[in-house]
Amino acid sequence: MTEQFDLWRALAGLGLFLFAMSQLEDGLRGIGGRGLANFLKQRTDTPLKAVTGGTIATALLQSSSVVGLMVLAFVGAGLLALPNALGVVFGANLGTTFTGWIVAALGLKLDIEELALPLIAGGALLLLVGRERMAHIGRVTLGLALLLLGLQFMKDSVAALQATVDVAALEGLAPWQYLAFGTLFAAIIRSSSATMMVTLAALDGGVINLPNAAAIAIGADLGTTFTVLMGAIQGSGSKRQVASGHFIFNLVTDAIAFALRLPLLGVVAWLGIEDPLYSLVAFHSLFNIMGLVIFVPIIKPFARWLERFGSERETSEAQYVREMVPEVSDAALAAIEQETAHLIARVVRQNMQVFSPPLPLPPGELPVDTNSAKDSELAKFDAMYDGTKRLEGEILRFATQLQRQPLNEAESRRLSQLLSAVREAVHSTKQLKDIRHNLEEFEDAPGPRINVYLDHFRSVMNSYFTDLFALRRAGQPHPRPEDIVELIQDVHGRHDQMHSEIYADISSGAVPEAVASSLLNVNREVLNSNLSLLSALTDYHLEPERALDLKRLPRTT
């Protein structure tokens, strides 16, 4: 009966610890998640800074999983290069060891119950009656109290277990068996911190000795990588590269640490650390520092190797949101912005394919700045149109997920603008799709006058795209509003001139009545297509108020 009671107490302690860690993650993310996100973006421009940033962020959040989530988000948004992402993940490994230091210094040395009960009372009160930030502080306080209480349960159960377990029998197990236990246990519960807490409790209770506890700590580091690998199996190439780099880093580091386990423990003793608990956490930190010393100098060639062997065949049209998680809202919004630029650039090139032969590429710059290389080889209009519709769907699906997250007013307005830009751009190419059959009929129509109109439509579109590629002047990321207004006026002028010519030919009988309505329809849809594309650009480039003023200009005459 006593043994069963101790087992349930141990499991309850582990459950409390895991639940407390999740509450700490949520609370700390609410207090400083956005600040940490900005910190990671701004302080990771070199591998050494990336490692430092990952270490500090994980030490503050007490969760490498949250930091990993941010890293994947920034990689997917194109805000974090692979070498820097790897640096943050490697640093997060060292950051997780701070949990062990805290527990060794506090959790197993003090009267936990006396400390935990006031924290539970105060934290619960703040969580229930506090607003926003105070509620998050209450969640952190409550999480810390439950974490300590869980440690107490594990400590008590291990102490009771010592009387029923033949410690000498455990000494007969091989070191690799302790390593395997640490790996499997961390993989199952998905937490190296929790595995370390169980190990510290067992070490404090005298159930295992320090060398065997060190083997479990090494295994715990390796076990947590399986969670990342499983999460990246169905992910993008960038996710797999980060996950693979994380696994290789831990595999190499842990293999060396296991081989040098006793000498490294000797270094810890040489440093004057005699307490077994401090010795274990110092060993944990030491072999992670050793891994950083090995990998940081080669992080850039290592990243290039991962990119070469971890590339994948693209299966989606999106290049940014497909790798994104909506929980990191600023990075997610940046991904949607880049994906919107990708879609607009695609529509520009796609609309130039509506004629046969396609319109020539004019000099100048695309009206949006995009690093997209996916559409460098142009396909036929219909194939590109199908891909654009799929890309629109991927953007809208991800935007729906992002809208479920807490967004501030500026983020909500920007998201609305980007979605409007996506709709207008797709509307632009849809209007040309609707008149493609008319353009094909004009090519086969008898009479020279129809061919003249076909050439005239080509000339109108050619002039339009020449002006469009001149909107973004050299060194300027955005076009000037007055240049967009001038182009809108030019689009209307070309439409009106064509409209007058068609009616004049209808009156003189130069154009058959059967073709007249098609000419007027094509002229109208060309106007609306060009204006829709300009409307997409105003939403993408301009402030909401200025964009709304430009979009109020009339579309048809």
> Alpha-carbon dihedral of residues 482, 485, 491, 497, nearest 10 degrees?
-90
Q: Give first-to-last CA distance, the chain, whole Å.
A: 89
Out of 12-16, 158-162, 426-430, 434-438, the most confident range is 426-430
What are the pLDDT digits (tens) for 514-529? 778 888 898 899 999 9
Q: Which residue has the higher pLDDT, 530 or 71?
A: 530
Q: What per-residue confidence (pLDDT) applies to 1? A: 37
What are the pLDDT digits (tens) for 112-128? 566 677 777 887 787 77
Q: What per-residue confidence (pLDDT) applies to 419? A: 93
Share above pLDDT 70 across residues of the chain, in percent, rounded to a whole number: 73
Q: What per-residue confidence (pLDDT) applies to 533? A: 93
- What DSSP string runs through 113-164? HHHHHHHHHHHHHHHHH--THHHHHHHHHHHHHHHHHHHHHHHHHHHHHHTT
Determine the Cα–Cα distance for residues 199 and 485; give it in Å rounded to an integer.
Answer: 69
Q: Quick check: 254 pLDDT over 70? A: yes
Long-range own/partner contacts, residues 402-407 (CB < 8 A, 24 or more apart): 402/326, 402/329, 402/332, 402/333, 402/336, 404/326, 405/326, 405/327, 405/329, 405/332, 406/329, 407/329
Q: What per-residue confidence (pLDDT) applies to 321? A: 80
Burial (0-12, 13-18, 19+ Cβ within 10 Å), 50: buried
Q: Which residues contact 158 (CB under 8 A, 6 or more apart)?
A: 10, 201, 202, 204, 205, 207
Strands (E), 140-294: none
Q: Which residue has the higher pLDDT, 332 or 144?
A: 332
Q: Where are the domains of the chain?
A: 2-309, 321-551
- What DSSP string runs through 339-395? HHHHHHHHHHHHHTTSSSSPPPPPSS--SS-----TTSS---HHHHHHHHHHHHHHH
Q: Tell me which residue has tokens 């290592």.
A: 302
Contact indicator for 327, 403 with CB cutoff of 8 Å: no
Q: Which residue has the higher pLDDT, 324 or 458?
A: 458
Q: Which residue has the higher pLDDT, 328 or 333?
A: 333
Contact indicator for 93, 285 with CB cutoff of 8 Å: no
With left for phi above 0 and alpha for psi between -120 and 50, is residue 357 left, alpha or beta? beta
Determine the Cα–Cα distance for residues 97 and 55; give it in Å rounded to an integer.
Answer: 9
Determine the Cα–Cα distance for residues 449 and 120; give it in Å rounded to an integer.
Answer: 86
Determine the Cα–Cα distance for residues 261 and 397; give it in Å rounded to an integer.
Answer: 49
Name the 3-class secondary structure at 273. Answer: coil
Averaged over 43-58, what is the pLDDT?
77
How confident is residue 464, by pLDDT bands cut at 50, 70 and 90?
A: very high
For residue 540, CA distances in Å to 251, 344, 427, 428 come to 45, 9, 15, 15
Contact indicator for 80, 211 with CB cutoff of 8 Å: no
Q: What per-residue confidence (pLDDT) applies to 331? A: 77
Averaged over 290-301, what is the pLDDT?
90
Min mean pLDDT across 64-78, 198-212, 419-433 is at 64-78
How confident is residue 372, by pLDDT bands cut at 50, 70 and 90?
A: low
Class of domain 321-551: mainly alpha
Q: Alpha-carbon torsion 157, 158, 162, 164, what sign? A: positive
* Buried b or exposed e, range 253-290, using 16+ CB within 10 angstroms: bbebbbeebeebbeebeeeebeebbbbbbbbbbbbbeb
Min mean pLDDT across 119-133, 364-378, 442-456, 494-508 is at 364-378
Min mean pLDDT across 90-99, 225-234, 237-246 is at 225-234
Averaged over 63-83, what is the pLDDT?
64
Determine the Cα–Cα distance for residues 155 and 60; give it in Å rounded to an integer.
Answer: 25
Read off the pTM: 0.56
Element at 238 (helix H, strand E): helix 237-259
How confident is residue 2, by pLDDT bands cut at 50, 70 and 90?
A: very low
Q: What per-residue confidence (pLDDT) applies to 167? A: 45
Determine the Cα–Cα distance for residues 114 and 133; give it in Å rounded to an integer.
Answer: 26
